[in-house]
Amino acid sequence: MESITEDLKTRIISRDSDEVGICFINTREKNNSLSSEGVYTFKELSKLSASFIKDTSSLCENFDSVIGSNDGSNYGARENPLYNGLWVAQGMLGKSATKNLGKRILLFTNNDDPFENADPVTKADMRRTTIQRAKDSQDLGISIELYPMSRPGEEFNLNIFYKDMITMEDDELSNFMVGAEKRFEELKARMRKKLFQKRVVRKITFTIANGTSIGLGTYAMVRPATTGKYEWLDSTTNKPVKSERALICTDTGAIVTESTKRFTHYNSKRVLMTREELAEVKKITDVQLRLLGFKSIACLKDYHNLRPATFLYPSEEAIKGSTCLFIALHRSLIRQKKFALAFHGNSTSPHLVALVPQEEIVNEYGQVQPPGMHMIYLPYAEDIRQPEKVINLSKGGVEIAAKEHIDKAMALIKKLHLREFTVYDIQNPALQRHYSNLQALGLQEDTVEEVEDCTLPDEEGMKRPSIVAVVQAFKDTVYGADHDQEEAAAEAERAKGSVTAQKRKAAAEVATKESEKYNWRQLALDGELKKLTVVELKYYLAGKKLPLSGKKEILIERILNDLGM
């Protein structure tokens, strides 16, 4: 239940349109649409909400009194709770308003023999009907995922029944239990992130030459993750409000109701232009993607990249035979280690682009990297800046580091080399903290879940003697052996400062001491900040060295922003 609750907390952020239902099998009480014995529908299929998650997380406290487990002694001789549960779950998924999406039944159980109390004839019949019910669900596009749980001192035996129910081959049995344990951990440790369907962003035509073209679909593989959209609420009713936009005449101050016109100044006159005329003026070409030629992949530098690349994959919808031609071009580029240089026409920002082929990578778990091309946006000549030339002109040359300095720096880099670094392991701490605060507010939790900041350095690892020695050697060589003492003396001199600076420092110390008397995060969660005086609010701002100007509402907003709420 803890794993399911954690999964729901993540799912409401990552896929808020998902519909989830929860029902228990082999229960004392019954509550389902079919009035079947041993099945209790705790939550009907619906979109997730804060109340849904709160009810699920608190269920363990009163499960025995409200629902309760049953060993089957109160059922009829031919009652089959597992069969009934699969039928109820299938009915719930069948009534879903969401169409054309994946439907799954996640089955959690620690009973590897659900029919052990039945007589041989009844057991054989229950086994046959349950397997058929599972097959019927799969024929309707519903996948069944088993999460087996071993009892203390007893291994879950898939061979007794579930191997046949979920259609598992013998060579899959050995790895299934290990994989199930990993899936349990994934349910609890899944990262809070918004998930996006890999759908076509745009369909374009790639013109090669002499009327030969390829239909392509474009996909966004890497984009900055944001906190999502916010919604305006009425301050008194807390209900969503509708925002409207209006144009106001600068001469009369009246709201403009008639349609507006566009114009441009030419020879001291206003020249009116329609929307279509403006679009025609801005348009550079009708060609969406045009081939210019080919270059060696060695000519493409990492810094020749203006923004995240777009992934290209052939599409047969617009042009038949696009896949065949795309594969031929793709394989030829890989074989010759070249990329295609092309012009990407766009009415607002036309670009030179490099089409870099990517090979497919597959391992024992499936596809890791799809085949296709990355469309990398290249800079124009005007986009490339030469700051080195500016330094040379203004300072009369750049000082070159001594060989000893370079050697010490290379030793430092080699010692601090991250051997197993991957961007997939580093989460955005600001985004994770935002979702943690959102969860605490939505579920009315007393504490905010701590978020691990993976961007912080490994302080314990940095204290190892070998690393300390390399860092100190680099500092002594570049800055001198007495650098720390010189910096400390300079800092002490700066700390003295002027009389005004001393007063500010004293005021900041007082504000910090006063600020420590308040639990600011709890006050913010309870909405109690507005009850504090302006002087009290400024204690926090002064202690954090934040601006103190503005009205009370502005001060509160500044505190909430600093708290990440």
pLDDT by residue, tens only, the chain of 565 residues? 888 888 888 888 877 788 899 999 989 888 998 888 889 999 999 888 888 988 988 888 888 888 988 865 555 557 788 999 999 999 988 887 666 578 889 999 988 888 888 888 888 899 999 999 999 988 888 889 888 888 888 888 888 888 888 877 666 666 776 667 777 777 666 556 665 566 788 899 999 888 889 999 999 888 888 887 778 888 888 888 988 888 888 888 888 887 777 888 888 888 888 878 877 777 777 778 999 999 999 999 888 888 899 999 999 988 899 999 999 999 999 999 999 999 998 766 788 999 999 999 988 777 888 899 999 999 998 888 776 655 554 455 566 788 999 999 999 999 988 888 888 778 888 888 888 888 888 888 888 888 888 888 888 888 899 999 999 999 888 888 777 777 777 777 766 655 566 677 777 777 777 788 888 888 888 888 888 888 888 888 887 778 887 778 888 888 888 887 7
Do the Cβ atoms of 359 and 386 come closer than 8 Å?
Answer: no
How far is 133 from 83, CA to CA, in rounded Å? 7
Residues in the chain: 565
Give which of 303, 480, 336 is closest to 408, Cα–Cα.
480
Residue 450 is classified by DSSP as P
Strand partners, 154: 151
Predicted local distance difference test score (pLDDT) of residue 326: 94
Q: At what angle do helices 120-139 and 81-94 cross, to 10 degrees?
A: 10
Predicted local distance difference test score (pLDDT) of residue 500: 63
Task: Say how many CA atoms lie within 13 Å of 366 toward its Cβ.
Answer: 0
Report DSSP letters for 316-333, one per residue: TTTSTTHHHHHHHHHHHH
Query: Domain 202-223+283-384 class?
Result: mainly beta
How far is 50 from 9, CA to CA, in rounded Å? 9
Which residue's entry shows tokens 């593989």?
221
Strand partners, 266: 269
Strand partners, 351: 344
Looking at domain 403-479, which of 1.20.1290.10, 3.30.420.10, 1.10.1600.10, 3.40.50.300 is its CATH number?
Answer: 1.10.1600.10
How far is 312 from 335, CA to CA, in rounded Å? 19
How far is 235 from 243, CA to CA, in rounded Å? 14
How far is 446 from 519, CA to CA, in rounded Å? 13
* End-to-end Cα, the chain, rounded Å: 29
User: Which ranges in the chain are annotated with CATH 3.40.50.410?
Assistant: 1-195
The dihedral through the CA atoms of 421, 424, 428, 433 has a sign that is negative
| Residue 537: its H or E element | helix 534-543
Do the Cβ atoms of 86 and 130 come closer than 8 Å?
Answer: yes
Tokens read off for 362: 């597959």
User: Which ranges in the chain are annotated with CATH 1.10.1600.10?
Assistant: 403-479
Predicted local distance difference test score (pLDDT) of residue 179: 66
Kindly report the number of other CB atoms within 10 A of residue 267's CB atom.
Answer: 5
Query: Domain 1-195 class?
Result: alpha beta
User: Which ranges in the chain are annotated with CATH 2.40.290.10?
Assistant: 202-223+283-384
The one-letter amino acid at 196: F
C-alpha pair distances (Å), 180 with each of 105, 170, 175:
15, 16, 9
How far is 86 from 131, CA to CA, in rounded Å? 10
Burial class (CB in 10 A: 0-12, 13-18, 19+), 79: middle
Task: Say how many CA atoms lie within 13 Å of 52 toward its Cβ.
Answer: 20
Predicted local distance difference test score (pLDDT) of residue 532: 84
DSSP SS3 for 196 = coil
Give which of 189, 219, 182, 194 is closest to 204, Cα–Cα.
219
Do the Cβ atoms of 356 and 297 come closer than 8 Å?
Answer: yes
Do the Cβ atoms of 375 and 353 come closer than 8 Å?
Answer: yes
How far is 441 from 163, CA to CA, in rounded Å? 43
C-alpha pair distances (Å), 506 with each of 260, 295, 543, 555:
58, 65, 11, 22
Tokens read off for 284: 């550079």
Tokens read off for 199: 């759908």
Kindly report the number of other CB atoms within 10 A of residue 385's CB atom.
Answer: 9
The torsion angle over the Cα atoms of residues 88, 93, 95 and 96, rounded to 10 degrees, is 150
Burial class (CB in 10 A: 0-12, 13-18, 19+), 359: exposed
Predicted local distance difference test score (pLDDT) of residue 129: 92
Using H for helix, E for strand and C for coil, what is the string for 442-492?
Answer: HCCCCCCCCCCCCCCCCHHHHCCHHHHHHHHHHHHHHHCCCHHHHHHHHHH
